[in-house]
């Protein structure tokens, strides 16, 4: 977990549901009928495994893997529709539970909406064909997060589900998606922000070390000590201003540009 993870999440009870198999109906309505029992287990968070349409091309088994998603912004028709999902979420909230859904942002199915509409967003092999990092995942192609407009699309998709009442997301194979995406900044921004903090710390340590060394030499060096302290303070101030400038530029790029 992240260092700033709220305490209640650290001890929360999560109940995982695969809607297709959870009840005989295999629908949101079926899960709805079981919510009171689930809440009675002191569940804090209801986790719905992928609820989206499953790809057909290269699918594994007759039903396919729910992690080979053909459309991030749609609901598998056999589960219900958006209204059914909202009813399920509203009831879960009424029973005191949060709801999170799976997001599978490393890859899509081999016949996904994105592959058809935005083929440039996909990882390619040496021959220019759509490819994947994990060979055994033969029913998917990996996304290429070097395209910043892909980031915007994925974030807008998350907002869509939040608007439906979803409280949070379980991010499948999150480690295969660039860390910069989860942080919401480019790698250059991350490096500059981290580097500016380290630079400030180094300058402050050097300043303190020089002051201490000169003070220990003797009274005759007090004038030099004062000058060194003044120069050190100026260096710290300039470094601090540089850090503030980098942070301001990053915030502008992220929220205002």
Catalytic residues, by residue number, are: 204
φ, ψ of residue 29 to 5 degrees: the values are: -60, -40
* C-alpha–C-alpha distance, residues 144 and 147, integer Å: 7
* C-alpha–C-alpha distance, residues 97 and 38, integer Å: 9
CB 87 within 8 A of CB 56: no
* C-alpha–C-alpha distance, residues 108 and 38, integer Å: 31
User: Residue 24 has which token pair?
Assistant: 């005989």
| Residue 47 β-bridge partners | 16, 100
Q: Nearest-5° angle of CA 234, CA 235, CA 237?
A: 65
């Amino acid at each position: 977990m992240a260092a700033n993870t709220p305490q209640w999440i650290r001890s929360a009870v999560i109940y995982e549901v695969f809607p297709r198999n959870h009840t005989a109906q295999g629908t949101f309505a079926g899960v709805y009928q079981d919510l009171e029992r689930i809440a009675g287990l002191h569940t804090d968070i209801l986790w719905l495994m992928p609820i989206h349409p499953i790809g057909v091309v290269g699918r594994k088994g007759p039903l396919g893997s729910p992690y080979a998603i053909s459309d991030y912004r749609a609901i598998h028709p056999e589960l219900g529709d958006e209204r059914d999902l909202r009813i399920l979420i509203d009831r879960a909230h009424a029973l005191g539970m949060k709801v999170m859904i799976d997001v599978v942002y490393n890859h899509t199915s081999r016949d996904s909406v994105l592959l058809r509409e935005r083929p440039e967003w996909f990882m390619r092999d040496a021959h220019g064909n759509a490819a994947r990092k994990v060979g055994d995942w033969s029913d998917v192609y990996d996304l290429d997060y070097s395209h910043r407009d892909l980031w915007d699309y994925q974030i807008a998709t998350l907002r869509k589900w939040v608007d439906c009442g979803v409280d949070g997301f379980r991010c499948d194979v999150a480690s295969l998606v660039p860390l910069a995406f989860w942080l919401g900044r480019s790698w250059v921004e991350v490096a500059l922000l981290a580097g500016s903090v380290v630079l400030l710390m180094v300058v402050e340590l050097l300043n303190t070390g020089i002051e201490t060394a000169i003070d220990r030499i003797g009274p005759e060096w007090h004038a030099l000590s004062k000058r060194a302290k003044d120069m050190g303070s100026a260096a710290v101030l300039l470094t601090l201003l540089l850090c503030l400038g980098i942070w301001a530029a990053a915030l502008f790029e992220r929220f205002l540009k």
